[in-house]
Each structure stands twice: as C-alpha cells, then as structure tokens.
A and B are shown apart, each in its own frame.
Chain A
Amino acid sequence: MDVNQYLEIFLDETKEHLQNLNTRILELEQDAENMDTINEIFRAAHSLKGMAGTMGYKRMQNLTHDMENVFSEVRNGTIKVQPEMIDILFKCLDALEEYTDNIQNNADEGTNDNAPIIKQLNDIINSKNSGGAAPAAAPAEEKKEEKEEATSTSKWYDIALDNHQITVLEEAKKEGKKIYGINVLIQESCLLKAARAFLVFKAIEEKGEIIVSDPSAQDVEDEKFDRDFTLIVVSDANFDDIKKVISNVSEIEAVTGEDLVLEKTKNYQPGDAAPAVVAAQTSEKKAAAPAAKTEKKQAPGKPIVNRTVRVDIEKLDSLMNLVSELIIAKNSLVATSTQNESGNSSAFNEQVEYLETVTTNLHESVMKVRMVPIESVVNKFPRMIRDLAKNLDKKMELYMSGEETELDRTVVDEIGDPLMHLLRNAADHGLEASEVRVQRGKPEVGSIFLDAYQDGNNVVIEVRDDGNGIDVNAVRAKIIERNLVSEEQAQALSDKEVIDYLFHPGFSTAKKITDVSGRGVGLDVVRSKIESLSGEVEVKSKLGEGSTWTIRLPLTLAIIQSLMVIIGGEKYAISLGSIQTIEDIAPSEVKKVENKEVINLRGSVIPLIRLNEILDIESKNASDDNLIVVIVKKGDQMAGLVVDELIGQQEIVIKSLGKYIKQPKFISGATILGDGEIALILDANALM
C-alpha cells in the first residue's frame, strides 16, 4: 500500500493521540485507580500501534506495543500504577514524539530502538506478581466480557429491536424473504473504516434491505465504532451471495452471519400482542435502549468527535483576502454615496447599509473560522510543569483557566514559545525551594496560574506565580554590575524601569545557570515575539508575594478599527486600540523639559511627538495654529502625536508593504482606502 498519501493524516492523528496520552497519564498520576483514564490510555496506545504498524514504522510500533502491554496488565488489575511507572511512560511518550518528529522531518522514524525504555516496560510487566490485584478484579471481568462479546458469533441477537422493526421483519418473513444476522469485522490496519463500512452497506443494499444496524448507520458513518458492526438484513438472496459481495469490499477481515431466528432476538414480542403488553414492552425497551447505547459508547468508543472539516490555512487566507477586497469595495461605495448625497435615492442608501451589515457579518464569520482555542498550545504545559518540578526538585502545581479562549490561528501557532518561557521562568526563578516556602509560612507546594480571557478586542494571557517576586534591588545591582548604566543613574531608575531591564537581551539574574533557565535568553525573546504579533507584555511583581506576567494580544491581525489622520497632506491610519483621547492644544501650552516638547494634560506630563518630523514631511499647519494631539498609550506610558488634520474612524484592512521594502519600524503596514489610494498604518507603540 502506498502510505505517503496518508502521512499527513498519520502525523496529525499521532500528535493528537500523544497529546491525549500526555494528559491522561498526568491524570493517572493523580488518580491511579481511574478505570476510565486507564481505558482511554489503552485505546490511544492501541490506535497508535495500529497506525504506526500500517505506516510501516516498526520501531514505533514495537514501543507502543510494549506500552500497550503494560496498560493491558493495568487494565486487568495485575499491575498497579506506580510513580516510577509514570516516569517510564513519560519517557516512552518523549521517545514516540521523537519518532514523530523524525517522520515529519525526514519521512523516516530514525534508528533509535529505545531499547532501555522497552526493557523498563517489560520489567514492569514481569513484576506484576508484586502488584495487588484485589481492587481491580471487577474491571478484569469487564474486559473478559468485552472479549467474549468481540468473539461472539451471534451478536445480532444482542440488538434491541423496536416494534416497528419487528413488524417489518415479520412482514418480510411472511413474504418468504430471508432474514440474516450479519457481523462484519474490518481489518485492524484499515485507515478509513467508515468508508469501508459505507461500501459494505452499499453492497448489501444491492442484494437486500438493511433493517437494523448496530452501531446505528449514523454512528458507523462517523466512525464511532471499533472494528466491527452488526446488521440485520432482509433479502431474497441466499447468505453465501451476500457474504460474497461483502467480502469483495477490500480491507474486510471477516464476515459472519446466519439465518436470524426472530423469536430469539432481544425484546421479541409477536406483532399481534395485546396493546398493554406493547406499551409495557416499549417502555421497557426505552429504558433498555439508552442503557445499551451508553454501554456501547464507552466500550469500543472513541471520544465523541465534533463534526469538523480540516481546511488548509492557505484556503482560509485567500478567503480572508477576498473578504478584505469586499470591505474595500464596500468602503468605496459608502464613500461615493456620501459624496453625492443629493443624487441618490433612499433605496440606494438602504442597499448600501445592507451591504455594510452583510460584509461586517461575513468578516466576523471568516475571522471566527480562523479562530482556534489556545487549548492546543497550553495543554502541553501540565506535563512540562510536572517535569520541571522533578528537575528542579520543587513542589509546584499548574492551574489553568480559559483554555477555550480563541485567538487567530496564526497567533496561536506563535504564542507557545513565549508562554513556555514565562512558565519556565516562573517555575525556576519565581517559586522558591520548598523549604524556603515553609519557612516563609507559604504552602509548601508552589502555585503557577495560567489564565486566559478576552478583554474587548484583546485577548489577555496571564502567567502568575505565588513565588518570591522580582527583587528590584538585585536587578538594580545587576544593572550596575553589567555597566549598563552608571550607579547614580541606576539608583534614579524607577522600579518599573528596573524591571524593564529584564527584557534586555542577555540579562539574567539567576545565581546559577540551570537546564531550565538563567541563560538570559528568554525574556527578550518573549518580548520581541509578542511585539511581532502586535501584542505587548507587562510584568507586575511584589517581593515575597509573586509576579504576574500579562500578555495582551489583538484578537485579529488582519482588520482593525483605526483613526485616519492627515499629516503634511498625506493620509495615515493609527490603530484605535492604542488611542486614549484627542486633544486640542494651544501652542503656548507646549513646554520644554530637557529640550523635549511636553504638554501637561490634566496633571500628567506627556511628551509630544511631531509626526511630520518623523515622517520627513512639511506640516501644512501654521506654527501658531492650535495643535491636534492624539494621545496614545502603551502600558503605563503615554505620548501625544501631533497631526495636521483628523479624517475620522474607519475599519481598515492591513496589508503588507511587500517583501521588497524594508519599512521603518513605526510603519506596521498599509491599507487601501475607499478611493483606491493607499494609506500607511502608523504603529504608535513603535513611536514611543
């Protein structure tokens, strides 16, 4: 079989399974007896093994096989989950991840056999006699039952038939048709079980009629079944014919079946039974059916999968571009309709307004399509914190909230590394050693919080710890030691300015370099990454009580609300997000401090930035005119941007200036206005 076409699906699914395993094994560490978790792990390991085997990755298959064996024993209750076992399992997952990475990069799993891990896994199995078997006796039985069920040759008698179905079957029998119970088992290696099942259904329908399917046809179509499904079929043909057409479908392992004896089926009541009996029976059936269903779902079940479609991000991008075009076209329509107000009928204006609503909604929907929950990024962190806790020999716990918060796909892909840096930082620098914590009267186990939530047009992600906080004086000493500024200057720096130095490249205050952090790379990377996503990062800290790192990201990167201004006859856009107020300032109110222009606005001194000077253009305003000052804010910092004229607020589509131009930092892109002209977008953050 040519497996290359499946490689992408394989990689996607493997990653999903590995993530699932990571999460479950963490759960298992907390609650070693949870049968649901154990079953889930077993299933994931089993799926992984099957997939790796099909794709011909033998080493990966071997490793998962041994892992599955361990869980098989755990499930049977012959081994108990031990802390050491969890460690080995995690090592195992890391090895599997390595295989996956290799496959992704070189289309080959690599040559590492991971023999030590396999040996450890086998040791666990061999040590099973030492484990207590008592608490797990029941699950073991459960498993046996399941096995029996799987090998049962007359599964069709387990199907609960309803009245209608029984009537249909009886009718068919009267007409001299045959009724068959059929069980179809699909090969373990089959990748597209639902498609195979569909072909089986189609094949049977050529010969007869499917009355009942278990699991239901819908579930089969959604691949909510393990490897086999059972059908009750009415047909004129004899059984061998039907068996033949089913077997013609490829990747079918076995077809079993026989003539169905109606009286032997579950719930069978003759069709002419008294109404009272029917009523009783239906109610009984109703009670039985859901029970049977839930049972089914748990046994071979995969987690319930949302009905989703995987879409190439490029297709979404092109869709997004088209929507952007539409918004530009709409803006120009609006522009023309307002320009020659008198000549337009009210019907035209109505339609323009309608168009505006539709484009706005369309834009929102497309943006939503591109949004993914940050869950995919953050759910690897519990495992990371667990490993850090072991490495650093500190006790800590990660609490996460708001994993369902959604962000643009492009942002989510980039946010993982900065968050990882901050969490490592919190674990290593933030939290004190357990003994110190106890001395200080804090709980021995340190807490790290990762909270995400939406705040207006921003998404805020906070990393918080209840550790030591930032020792401002230690940082200040470090600044002096590094000769970054003179001692006098350093003493004059505010706490905030001192903390800001943490974001400088190559600045680390950790006393010793550990594997985890202390190399001074990290925080500067965090800041530059976040800023490249048009976001910002802040830190608040209280010595002895902990620190909070706040990342603020825009919801979308492609379309923003902006204020259009004119500077020296040229149009520019400023993102509305950073604008606080717009002020009318008389030239006499402009003061000079240290040779820089400032204004005093309601008690706070704000530096002025003459945009025409930065943009190398002559202002069209006379020097004694009042100044139009746009007050912008970045964190706690404020600045006043002097512009010539205001045009108004507008929704703009951000476009890149093209790869050829290396634009200055304060220009974040360009946008196309309603009249087809281009306006550049000023990044207020970069101006400050």
Chain B
Amino acid sequence: MDQLSTMNAISLANEEGKTNVETIQYIVIRLGDEQFGIDIKYIDNIVRMQNITRVPKVQDYLLGVINLRGEVIPVMSLRRKMNLADDEFTKATRIIILKLENQGNVGVIVDEVKEVVTLAVDEIDKVQHKNGESANFVSGVGKHENELISILDLGTLASEDGAQ
C-alpha cells in the first residue's frame, strides 16, 4: 500500500514539477549487511528483543507471540520470510511493531535499528520486479549519504505467504 502512495506521489511530483517535493521519513534497519527502510507511519513501536512464546503449527517465519504491555503480538522473522540466513539474536536485535490496517499489529525482528532518514520521493528509484526471491519485498531503492536503502513493501511482506 505504501508502494502505491509512493508511486502516486512520484507521478504527481513529476507531472507538476513542483519544487517542494513530498518527503517521507524512513526508519533504517539492518538485516545482515543490507539496509532497509520502513515508512515511519506504519511503525507503532520499537522494542528490545524479548522472550518469544512459540505457537505450534504455524508458518515457520512466525516465531510466536510476545507480550507488549499486556497485549499479545505475533512476531515474525524478516530473515526467514525473505529466505535469508536464520536470525542471530544480539544486543542490537530489535523487534519493530508494525501496525497494519487489516491484520492488526505484528512485530518483525531486525538485526539493528540504525537511524531515521528523510527521503524525498524523487530520491527513491522504483525497483523493476524480476523473478528474484526477495526482490519483491522491496518497492524501491533510496540513496542517503552514499548508502543505498531498500524500501520495504509492507503490503507484500505482511501478506500471508509472501510473494513466491
């Protein structure tokens, strides 16, 4: 969904050629040696790694549930979902609680939360979707201080079995 709005914003900006281009704030996270950006408006909370209660007989990327101030929140492994090497929990590991429109809250585990960046929509290049595995989770690539940030497409990411 954020992909859509981003794209609309791009086309709008291109058509009208306005100088004050729309900007979006992203939280930059690290998974392995790649950096990803998550639109800040979908983020409810960032919490430290904590005990996860396993739920049997669910998809393997769903690690279980955690207690977030009295609410039970499902947690999934981004690495498993994106077919990366399995998580290694360190001191830097965080759970990002996303609030999704139709699926309620869900936590995703990331290796590290780095910073908040503000990107203008025209700084983000749309990604051509190939048949690659994890490419579909990325809706665009932004540049920030000589580093590349892949913008996560939460709609696809949160969909039940991901795009395969």
Which A positions have Cβ atoms within 8 angstroms of B?
321, 324-325, 328, 570, 614-617, 655-664, 667, 670, 672, 676-680
A658 touching B65, Cβ below 8 Å: yes
A660 touching B67, Cβ below 8 Å: no
Of residues B54, B100, B160, which shows the largest number of chain A Cβ atoms within 10 Å of its Cβ? Answer: B54
Check if B121 is an interface residue, CB within 8 A of chain A.
no
B119 CB to closest chain A CB, in angstroms? 28
Say which one of B5-13, B26-34, B68-76, B132-140 lies at the interface with A. B68-76
A520 CB to closest chain B CB, in angstroms? 31
Q: Are A615 and B56 CB-contacts (below 8 A) given A658-B72, A672-B72, A678-B72?
A: yes
Check if B62 is an interface residue, CB within 8 A of chain A.
yes
Number of A-B contacts (CB under 8 A): 71
B53 touching A658, Cβ below 8 Å: no
* Interface residue from A617, A663, A672, A678 paired with B58 (Cβ < 8 Å): A663
A615 proximity list for chain B (CB < 8 A): 56
* Interface residue from B57, B72, B103 paired with A657 (Cβ < 8 Å): B72
Interface hits, B35-56 → A, CB 8 Å: 51, 53-56
A574 CB to closest chain B CB, in angstroms? 15
Check if B106 is an interface residue, CB within 8 A of chain A.
yes
B55 proximity list for chain A (CB < 8 A): 657, 661, 663, 667, 680
B57 touching A670, Cβ below 8 Å: no
A661 touching B53, Cβ below 8 Å: no
* Interface residue from A321, A616, A660, A680 paired with B53 (Cβ < 8 Å): A680
B65 touching A677, Cβ below 8 Å: no
Of residues B53, B66, B100, B102, which shows the largest number of chain A Cβ atoms within 10 Å of its Cβ? Answer: B53
Check if B158 is an interface residue, CB within 8 A of chain A.
yes
Which B positions have Cβ atoms within 8 angstroms of A?
51, 53-58, 62, 65-67, 70-74, 76, 100, 102-106, 158, 160
B71 proximity list for chain A (CB < 8 A): 655
A655 touching B56, Cβ below 8 Å: no
A679 proximity list for chain B (CB < 8 A): 53
Q: Which residue of chain A has its CB nearest to the CB of B62?
A: A661
A325 touching B102, Cβ below 8 Å: no
Q: Which residue of chain B has its CB nearest to the CB of A670?
A: B72
Can you list 13 A-B contacts with CB-CB less than 8 angstroms, sorted by A residue number? A324-B70, A328-B70, A614-B56, A615-B56, A657-B65, A659-B103, A659-B104, A660-B106, A670-B72, A672-B67, A672-B72, A679-B53, A680-B55
A658 proximity list for chain B (CB < 8 A): 65, 72-74, 104-106
Q: Are A656 and B56 CB-contacts (below 8 A) given A670-B65, A672-B67?
A: no
B105 proximity list for chain A (CB < 8 A): 658, 660
B102 proximity list for chain A (CB < 8 A): 659
A670 to B65, CA, bound (A): 9
Q: Which residue of chain B has its CB nearest to the CB of A614?
A: B56
B72 touching A655, Cβ below 8 Å: yes
A614 to B55, CA, bound (A): 12
A321 CB to closest chain B CB, in angstroms? 8
B74 touching A678, Cβ below 8 Å: no
B74 touching A325, Cβ below 8 Å: no
B76 proximity list for chain A (CB < 8 A): 660
Q: Which residue of chain A has its CB nearest to the CB of B56?
A: A615
A670 touching B53, Cβ below 8 Å: yes
B59 CB to closest chain A CB, in angstroms? 8
A670 proximity list for chain B (CB < 8 A): 53, 65, 72
A644 CB to closest chain B CB, in angstroms? 15
A16 CB to closest chain B CB, in angstroms? 35
Q: Which residue of chain B has its CB nearest to the CB of A655?
A: B72
B67 CB to closest chain A CB, in angstroms? 5
A656 touching B70, Cβ below 8 Å: no
A374 to B56, CA, bound (A): 37
Of residues A321, A615, A667, A680, which shows the largest number of chain B Cβ atoms within 10 Å of its Cβ? Answer: A680
A375 to B160, CA, bound (A): 42
Q: Are A664 and B158 CB-contacts (below 8 A) given A657-B72, A658-B105, A670-B65?
A: no
A662 to B59, CA, bound (A): 9
A677 touching B53, Cβ below 8 Å: yes
B58 touching A570, Cβ below 8 Å: no
5 closest Cβ pairs, A-B complex:
A659-B104, A678-B53, A664-B57, A661-B74, A660-B106
